[in-house]
Structure 1
Amino acid sequence: MQEFVVGITGTSGSGKTTLITAMLPWFRERGLRVNVVKHSHHPLELEPPAKDSARFRAAGASEVMVASPYRFAIVHELRGDAEPTLAEQLARLAPAELTLVEGFRSDAIPRIEVYRPVHGREPYYPCDPSIVALATDRNTDAALPCLPLNHPPEVAQFILALRERHTGKRMLHPAAHRHGFRAPDAS
């Protein structure tokens, strides 16, 4: 089960992956198990076509697991079936205290929008009620909390505070309270 799921959204090239990558060590240092789900609109090719695992898929295997002493990966061929929903994808993951999602913009999960006005693109937040904060490199007049994109630990602290507010579970790190979120009283 995924304890808390939060999306990182934004236009192409805005820095979503860079932000997630920068926050992961911070979460890990605090003892959190974190999963990441990234949606891609492109075909996934995880191995060269001549490798055994690719040959198994090409020959008709529904799923192929490649395993080593260091990691494993499962490649599932849809073969015309509908793309699994985010909920279905999350159910396949190992349990974690936090799951970060890049993509799946139509799913109703709280999101932080990575917004860079210099890119000249309109932000999503005015039309997307699932966006709860902006991570940005410029001052904006948004009514949402604006987090410094160039300081990933502060964005990570906000996420932990948001997690606490949604789950009622106390944080592992007291800095998460910086944004004023508190767990409800257990009365």
Structure 2
Amino acid sequence: MRIYGVVGYKNAGKTGLMERLVTEITGRGFSVSTLKHAHHTFDVDQPGKDSYRHRIAGAQQVLLASRARWALMTEIQDAEEPPLADLLTRLDPVDLVLVEGYKRDGHPKVEAHRSETGNPLIARDDQTVRAVASDTALDLHRPVFDLNDTTAIADFILSEVGL
């Protein structure tokens, strides 16, 4: 399975870039899945809903299904957070998996960067960051794209993964 990451600090534009890339790449006829890392405890369930009540009651897994979609929630409790490689095995086969976060993993990535955040570039010290999508011109020894030039960024990623 081909994977490519989007990394960057908070408010750098990662999620917006991911959304635009999914739209652009699926619009070209490729199948895409996404995997997003959350740095905090999160809940996709709503208090009071049946599936939430099942989980809170102690169910290790809760599968919620309807005509439109299904979702499987797994409680890991005190276990270690699963590595990216393990999570990828749980996805159905697609042409490309776009990964938001997991900046320390070894897969190729594009960095989203906004100058107003004042954060340093991850790309300066990380060779797995193959390009930067920024709202300002940068002097780097790798491609730099306009953060809003989704077509060019998608072209780059698809070329990198051989699609």
Report which structure shows greater RCO (CA 8 Å, sep ≥6). Answer: 2
CA deviations 1:87-141 (Å, max 9, x no partner) are 0110001111101111112210001011222322111111111111111121111
Q: How many residues align?
A: 163
Q: What is the deviation of 1:39?
A: 0.5
Q: What is the deviation of 1:7?
A: 0.8
Partner of 1:176: none
* Residue 15 of structure 2 is aligned to residue 13 of structure 1: no
Partner of 1:55: 53
Measure the CA separation in 1 of the matches of 2:135 and 2:103: 22
Secondary structure of 1:24's match? Answer: helix
* Residue 133 of structure 2 is aligned to residue 135 of structure 1: yes
Alignment gaps of 5+ in structure 2? none
Measure the CA separation in 1 of the matches of 2:81 and 2:117: 31
Alignment gaps of 5+ in structure 1? 165-170, 172-187
Question: What is the 5 A alignment of 1:25-174?
Answer: 25-164=23-162, 171=163
Measure the CA separation in 2 of the matches of 1:131 and 1:91: 23
Q: Which of 22, 25, 37 matches 1:24?
A: 22
Secondary structure of 1:65's match? Answer: strand
Identity %: 36
Secondary structure of 1:127's match? Answer: coil
User: Could you tell me the TM-score, scaled by structure 2's length?
Assistant: 0.96
Q: Which ranges of 4 or more aligned residues in structure 1 deviate by more than 4 Å? A: none
Secondary structure of 2:79's match? Answer: coil
Find the structure with the greater CA-based Rg. Answer: 1
